[in-house]
Every structure is written in structure tokens, then in C-alpha cells.
Amino acid sequence: MRKETILEWLESNKDIFTEMAQKIWENPQIAYEESFASELQMKALEKDGFQISRKIGGAETAFIAEFGSGRPIIGILGEYDALPGLSQSVSTSHDEIVPNGPGHGCGHNLLGTAGVAAVMAIKDIIVANKMEGTIRYYGCPAEEVLSGKTFMARQGVFDDLDCALTWHPGTSNIVANMSMQAMVSIKYHFKGITAHAAGAPHAGRSALDAVELMNVGTNYMREHVLDGSRIHYVITNGGLAPNVVPDRASVWYYLRAATKEQVDEMLERVNKIAQGAALMSETEVESEILAFAYETLPNDTLNDVMLENMKLAGSPVFTEMEREFAEALVKTVDPKTVAMSKRLFGGNSSEILPSSYDYFPNLKGVSVGGSTDVGDVSWITPVGQIMTTCAPVGVQAHSWQATASYGSSIGFKGMHFAAKSMALSLYDLLVDSSLISKARQEFTEATGGKPYIPGIPEEVMPPGSLGPVAELVK
């Protein structure tokens, strides 16, 4: 009966959370600037009796909302940052609302809101039944730049969790039993000597030459990395004018691999290439790490709990109008890309908006492309994760089609389904301590007892931070 009560509460209150997700979608803000979304969620949770702790890890838009007392302590991970350049209306043609403006092309307007709904639903059950246990919603900024949770983790706010749950908008209802890659985001800044490029080129030492030499070196390195590893970069500063030898130039790298240890090894080699480029061009080089996310550790115990509750929650029922919208949207995507998506992420369904439940087919134990700072949390405490149908199969994350989907009724239905699945799973974990014990035993075996050490150096603070944070700001 208590699970039925949870589902009834979420169903009767779904308009509240649809409106919250809609407002966040209409007011997209990029990493570390998500003041609208974080304030909106904090106000709703505080009004509902949650204790709010602000500016977690030094990030202005990071917060924790807590309710209850004692153990177990269970976290729900939420996100709400948008992506630059993905402004889009709910339309089947490319239609920017704000030219080159941000948009929710990864569905974080839905992601965080479902977490808020889940903890608010279970909070009423805790009160009504005088249950022991603590629930926390983590408002996590800047997932798109892969550092928000790392800064939070560095402050130790996940350390006392017994476990955590999360989800992500997707194109089918599936358990995330694969691993996403570890990744470092690092910028290299070269300093040379300016000179007239025609009149006195011999007097100059080009920082741009150093950047280009470095890129050549890393491109040769691609042949000698493990399969599945990735190296990508952009030149962020190449000088100001062709007739001036650039004395400043910068390049921004992402290095990805199956494990953080492999990324560490790649980074050591790329650092040597940067030093070699500086030596060859007679310049100087400095680097700054912006993010360093661990690979994700799936937890089968928690994933099994979440899968069973997905079945209990009942998948969304899509209308004919929603299916027509989905079909029209998919027609704007390259057919080869759609076919690939169906093979990889379509589950066992041939539907354009899948309603069945499954695990990622053939991906258990596999490291897939892409990274997330959820990986950091998964190395601190067991984490369960699902994905739900919020967009048609074939639509790619970080695209205008995704923004359109995540602002539509399709996205909202997937969000409500995720909220129900997480809330029901929270209940199971609160009442059955053996589930958490099993999840933690699996976690200990997976980590091999290796402690979590944040990849971001201690002296690096979030953008906009006023300095090191010694304690929670409430």
C-alpha cells in the first residue's frame, strides 16, 4: 500500500513538476550559471521542509536538500545545466528561440526535476510512517563540463552516503549497466615573444607554433593508445593578427579512456609532448586542469532494484500526436545515425518511443563513449542509474532535436516515469537494509578498496568561487 501511495502522490502532483521542468527549459543557463534552476528547486524543497545547504564545494549553484534522520543515508543526484548554442523551440524543424543561445539538449531540465519529485514523494511516506533514514537531493551544477560533482566530492559531501540513485533522459527505458569513460579537461597556455612577422620574424618566438607542434605530436600519439581512448582539442587562442608573431596561444584538450588510470597515463604523455613543443619553439608552457572525472562504476544490485520498480511504475503511454511528432523529428536525423542508435540504445523494442524495460543490450562491462562526473560519486558510494524514454530513438543528445524533445510532453512523461521509479527504489532501500549491504559489498569488490582521490587539484576552484570552502554554507 505504501508504494501505491507513492505512485498516487506523484500522479496527483505531476503538474507541479511538469511546470518546474518547463520553467527550467524556458530559462536555460550553462555550467556554474544555473541560478534560476537551483533557486527554483531550493525554494520548492525548503517549502516542503527540507534543510538546505548552499554553495557546496565552492560552487554558487550547488546545494543539498536533506530530510529525515539516522541511517540509511540515501542520495539522489540531480543536474540542471544547459548547453551553449542549442536554443530550440518545440518544433520538428531547426528553430532557435535565441540565436546561438543555450538550450537543454541533454535534458537536465528533466533530470534534476525528477529527483526533486522523488525525494518529495518519499518524504511524505517517511513522515506518515515514522520511518528511520535520511534522504538527500544533491543539486549538482556543471555536469556538462564534468566538474560540478568533483568539486562537491572534494568537500566530502558524498562520503557518508550508504548509496545513491540517479537517472538520465534517453531514448528507451533501460538500466545503465555499462561504464562511461574517465576524462580530463585541460588547457595548455604557451608564452613566446612578439615581433613583426615580416620585418623581424627572427626576433619572435611563436606561441602558436608551439600549439601546432603540440597538436602534431598528440595526433601521432593516437596510434599508440588503447582502443576506445579519445583525444580531442580546440585552439582557443591562436594570436591576434597574421603580421604579429603571437606571444600567447592556448589549446584545450579532452583526454578520455576506460579508466582514470589510463587517462593519467595519457595525460603524462601529453604533458611531455607539450614540454617538447615548448622546447622546439623556444617558448614556455603552463597547464590548468578544468575537470577530471572518473569512469562510472555500475552497481548491479541497485540497478536490479531500479529495474523492478520501473516495471511497477508502469511505462509512459504516448499519444498518436506525440508519435507523429517523434517520427517527424527523427526524419531530420541522418538515417545511418538513426540505424546505429537503434542497434546500440534501442533496447529490444522496435518502437520509435519504446515502452518496454531492459538493460543496455550487450553493454554490460563495456566502456562506452562519453563521460560524466557521476563517475566520481560512483567511486565514493554505490550508484544505481536508469534511463527513460524522453526522446525518440535516433535523436542524439546535444542536438537541437534533443532540446525540442526535452521541452515536449514526451520528455515530461519520461521524467515522471523516472521520478516514480526512483521514489519506489528509495522506499525499498529505506525498508530493506539487506539491499544496501549487498550493494556495498559489490561496491567494495568493484573498487578493490582503492580510495577516491579527486582529480581536480586542491588549488583549483569552481568558476565564480570566492575561495576555498571550509564547511557547508547553510
Going residue by residue through the chain, which has 474 residues, state the pLDDT in tens, using 9 for 90 and above.
Answer: 689 999 999 999 999 999 999 999 999 999 999 999 999 999 999 999 999 999 999 999 999 999 999 999 999 999 999 999 999 999 999 999 999 999 999 999 999 999 999 999 999 999 999 999 999 999 999 999 999 999 999 999 999 999 999 999 999 999 988 899 999 999 999 999 999 999 999 999 999 999 999 999 999 999 999 999 999 999 999 999 999 999 999 999 999 999 999 999 999 999 999 999 999 999 999 999 999 999 999 999 999 999 999 999 998 999 999 999 999 999 999 999 988 888 776 555 578 898 887 666 556 777 888 899 999 999 999 999 999 999 999 999 999 999 999 999 999 999 999 999 999 999 999 999 999 999 999 999 999 989 999 999 999 999 987 554 444 433
Strand 133-140 and strand 73-79: the pairing is: parallel
Question: Would you list the domain boundaries of the chain?
Answer: 2-178+295-447, 182-293
How high is the pLDDT of residue 473? 38
How high is the pLDDT of residue 467? 55
How high is the pLDDT of residue 408? 98
Q: Please check whether residue 184 is in contact with residue 254, taking contact to mean a CB–CB distance below 8 angstroms.
A: yes
262's CB contacts (< 8 A; 6+ apart) are 182, 226, 229
CATH code for the structural domain at 182-293 = 3.30.70.360
Residue 64 phi, psi (nearest 5): -130, 135
Q: What residue type is assigned to position 461 of the chain? A: M
How high is the pLDDT of residue 474? 38
Is the CA virtual torsion 306, 107, 455, 156 positive or negative? negative
Q: In the CATH hierarchy, which top-level class contains the domain 2-178+295-447?
A: alpha beta
Q: What residue type is assigned to position 405 of the chain? A: S
How high is the pLDDT of residue 449? 86
**Grid cell for residue 334:** 541522418
How high is the pLDDT of residue 359? 63
